[in-house]
Amino acid sequence: MSKEKLFEMARINKDHAEKGTMTLVDDVVKIPAENYYNPERWKKEVDLIFKRLPLVLSVTGEIPNPGDYKAMEVVGVPVIILRNKKGKISAFLNACRHRGAALVEPGTGNQRRFSCPYHGWTYNDEGTLMGVASAHEFGEIDKSCNGLISLPSLEKEGIIWVTLDPKSNLNIQDYLSGYDKMLSLFGLENWHVFETRSVNGPNWKVAYDGYLDLYHLPVLHKDTFGDSFSNQANYYEWGPHQRAISPYRLPEQNDFNNDGKDHYENSVEEWPLDVLMAGVWTIFPHVSIASFNGGGRSIMLSQLLPGDRPEESVTNQFYLMEKEPNEKQAEEAHKQFDLLKYVVETEDYGTGLRLQKGLKTGLIDHVMFGRNEGGGQVFHKWVDKIINTEDSKLPSLF
């Protein structure tokens, strides 16, 4: 089914490429400029989007082995993801049930037991409270009721989702709206993390708009990606998750067998998977995935999180590779990752940081998303829809 969908998209793109057209939406849409900087609005988005929806907090390749863990802070919430001895993932609040100390510092590691650094209570790799220091003096408590606070989680297709609300009634699988079947085509389960980097950026929506925007490519990135890149995009939706793909006839679509022949005219069923999977795959509300070939088959997964203020965000970039690179490939992968970091940090986020200053003056009433920017329109529609939906009705959106 997912392969069929991929072929269907390729046929639509090919048709547009031949005609020099793209899918256009009905109207130009206006978004209030203050949605990007108003502190109350921003807080609502953090509370009602980031603290209620499943978030991509890791990838299988980051914590692949039994006993591996990852701790991080997500919109102020300390989280720990554990892989137990059977290989199963679970997620918890990284806060001891005695008086709330963090069990481990942010980062990754491998251990089966976690001893709280404050008074020494211990937990196992399933979050169960195993030991209370000086238990006979502390007094009686029921250990079985005092494990770490469990957070809903799902590991699927090489990606790990966690919901920060322990009482969430939103099923993560339902939330994915069938998009996981498309993500499965990347085959990320056995890929490994070559390197991760963090980049500071502007307001999370200013940054995220850029991931869905191919309109800017030949202009803003003319010195890096080149000015011959297409500025057209077709968008495809699975619930709030979207793929943006240029209908432009990419050079690698001509001679994808490297045999000097033009294979573009072949039926799409014969196209290689890499060509079929091109473009940007976004996972609402904060992730984008794009394929590269620096040092071998690779992707960059960008995990965007709001910072401490409306005008700040942090993006964790994961460079994932299908195979362990040799020395030469590792060098190429570094080069590719360096370029991508530069493009995002200097060109995209540099522009975003300056544009939000203009918006924050209050002198611009609204920003616009054109008929060729359907992806941005859909993104903002979902942001509005979600922050205006009460908890009990949230599952009905997906």
Interface residue list for ligand FES (CB under 6 A):
96, 98-99, 101, 116, 118-121
Tell me how far, at minimum, the Cβ of 247 lies from ligand FES, in Å.
56
Amino acid of residue 44: K
Decide whether 106 or 226 has the Cβ nearer to ligand FES: 106
Tell me how far, at minimum, the Cβ of 33 lies from ligand FES, in Å.
45
Both tokens of 207, joined, read 């940054």
Strand order in the sheet with 114-115: 114-115, 122-123, 129-131
Decide whether 131 or 187 has the Cβ nearer to ligand FES: 131
Strand residues in 29-84 grouped as ranges (E): 29-32, 54-59, 68-74, 77-83
Tell me how far, at minimum, the Cβ of 177 lies from ligand FES, in Å.
39
Show the CA angle centred on residue 47, arms to residues 108 and 212, nearest 5°: 75
Decide whether 134 or 258 has the Cβ nearer to ligand FES: 134
Amino acid of residue 17: A
Decide whether 116 or 151 has the Cβ nearer to ligand FES: 116
Phi, psi of 270 (to 5 degrees): -95, -5
Q: How would you write 117-148 as a 3-class SS string? A: CCCCCEECCCCCEEECCCHHHHCCCCHHHCCC
328/377 Cα distance (integer angstroms): 42
Tell me how far, at minimum, the Cβ of 118 lies from ligand FES, in Å.
4
58/159 Cα distance (integer angstroms): 6
CB 70 within 8 A of CB 58: yes
Decide whether 71 or 383 has the Cβ nearer to ligand FES: 71
Decide whether 126 or 345 has the Cβ nearer to ligand FES: 126
**Alpha carbon of residue 61 to chain centroid:** 15
71/74 Cα distance (integer angstroms): 10
Tell me how far, at minimum, the Cβ of 147 lies from ligand FES, in Å.
13
Decide whether 109 or 120 has the Cβ nearer to ligand FES: 120
Tell me how far, at minimum, the Cβ of 82 lies from ligand FES, in Å.
17
Tell me how far, at minimum, the Cβ of 122 lies from ligand FES, in Å.
9
Tell me how far, at minimum, the Cβ of 77 lies from ligand FES, in Å.
17
Phi, psi of 56 (to 5 degrees): -80, 105
Decide whether 24 or 135 has the Cβ nearer to ligand FES: 135
CA atoms within 13 A on the CB side of 324: 0
Euclidean distance between the first and the last CA atom of the chain, given in angstroms as a whole number: 20
Rg, the chain, Cα only: 22
Phi, psi of 209 (to 5 degrees): -50, -40
- Looking at the chain, list the stretches that DSSP marks H as alpha helix, in order from N- to C-terminal side: 2-19, 39-45, 135-138, 172-175, 179-183, 204-211, 217-220, 273-276, 327-342, 349-360, 374-387
Tell me how far, at minimum, the Cβ of 98 lies from ligand FES, in Å.
3
* C-alpha dihedral sign at 38, 40, 41, 47: positive
DSSP bridge pairs for 283: 287
Element (H, E) at 379: helix 374-387
Decide whether 146 or 184 has the Cβ nearer to ligand FES: 146
Tell me how far, at minimum, the Cβ of 68 lies from ligand FES, in Å.
22
Amino acid of residue 273: L
Decide whether 70 or 97 has the Cβ nearer to ligand FES: 97
